[in-house]
Structure 1
């Protein structure tokens, strides 16, 4: 047994002391999007600090607890607060919760994030279903010796986001008059917001939105054999030339305003799993 596998099993066994249901889905809640956790019924919360080998989130808008319960009568596990490379964690620490959720039994991972818009058709508060990504982060979560029990040495990343889940989400949005876009998410290290030149560069290479998370978790989810769906809330527009000073507080406020629509789509997706 590898050291990583031993840590995963220790975390799983600790969680299973409190909750023995097999969750159908895991949910990662992005900046300002933690209120989705309130939709989870008959829930229990476990602080990250109590779970063996879990890091602890240091970012405002990330509460730092694992929530287990039911959405649409389906058992789920949700991360209220995620980890980022810019906080000083290794990529293995950033993605460790995905490994643990897989060990708990999830087959599908739903991810939300707050992102800066680079597509000129986007407005603040829009929702973007991620159909693909570009990885510009400086470290890779699968670097190092591979544990074949966790996944293959060279996982295929040609379709990291599940097409069936994307189609279902579009159908849910259309049936409920929710406007959604689809696009390519660019993952960067952070913690600085991008310069205007960087926004233009990332748009030129094919990006529609940019953020400091998601890509590492998706890579590990694909490595683990999970189906992945991810959605961004566009919290600022960086591609325009007019003055555009971005603050974290504005990001959180924009995410909060768009959260009910994202929560509805996630809930319906889980109901249809």
Structure 2
């Protein structure tokens, strides 16, 4: 609903961010992952039901995360010396962190990070024709050969430490728009 309200208010670009568990062995806690695509594991699809006239009944999801915005973020990160990684975000329902077997499955299916948000909002934004840029803060790691226990407090600390760098990239993207 909030995304549809944004559409009605004339919003043309949506920035989304989240804290997520990294599954890519190249990732480190605190990395900023620019989302290039997603895998939807939410049980309810946000477009189910009557089609809103903001988009087609079956929208193409080929470029859900805007390539021009991704390129701009990459350029800004390089200019500012901010490490960014890229990957596929897996959206799941929660409210639990993943089991070692789930981390392994999501990674083998092509995911690089997993979290409990973002995907429904991005689907609706794309349906409305809103350009979308997404970034995940890697707050914990669920690697196949090294399962690690995680707490909500540890996730918050990692997210708070990386948040200023994410904000710097996004602010510069807005400034250049």
TM-score normalised to the size of structure 2?
A: 0.97
Question: Within 5 A, what are the aligned runs for 1:130-169?
Answer: 130-148=35-53, 150-169=54-73
User: Is 1:199 aligned to residue 103 of structure 2?
Assistant: yes
- Give 1:105 shift: 1.3
What are the Cα deviations for residues 47-84 of structure 1, in whole angstroms up to 9, with x where unaligned? xxxxxxxxxxxxxxxxxxxxxxxxxxxxxxxxxxxxxx
Q: Which residue of 2 aligns with 1:123?
A: 28
Q: Which residue of 1 aligns with 2:75?
A: 171
Counterpart CA distance in 2 for 1:169 and 1:147 is 31
Structure with bigger gyration radius: 1
- Give 1:242 shift: 3.8
Counterpart CA distance in 2 for 1:194 and 1:244 is 10
Counterpart CA distance in 2 for 1:243 and 1:200 is 9
Q: Which residue of 2 aligns with 1:184?
A: 88
- Give 1:170 shift: 0.1
User: Is 1:245 aligned to residue 152 of structure 2?
Assistant: no
TM-score normalised to the size of structure 1?
A: 0.64
User: Is 1:220 aligned to residue 99 of structure 2?
Assistant: no
Which residues of structure 2 form unaligned runs of 5+?
A: none
- Give 1:261 shift: 0.3
Counterpart CA distance in 1 for 2:39 and 2:120 is 11
1:266 corresponds, among 165, 170, 174, to 170
**CA 1:243–1:219: 2 relative to 1, 3 Å:** closer
Q: Which residue of 2 aligns with 1:100?
A: 5
Helix, strand or coil at the partner of 1:169: helix
- Give 1:245 shift: 1.2
Runs of 4+ in 1 over 2 A off after TM superposition: 240-243
CA contact under 8 A between 2:100 and 2:147: conserved in structure 1?
Answer: no
CA contact under 8 A between 2:35 and 2:88: conserved in structure 1?
Answer: yes
**Aligned residues: CA RMSD:** 0.9
Q: Which residue of 2 aligns with 1:109?
A: 14
Helix, strand or coil at the partner of 2:77: helix
Which residues of structure 1 form unaligned runs of 5+?
A: 1-95
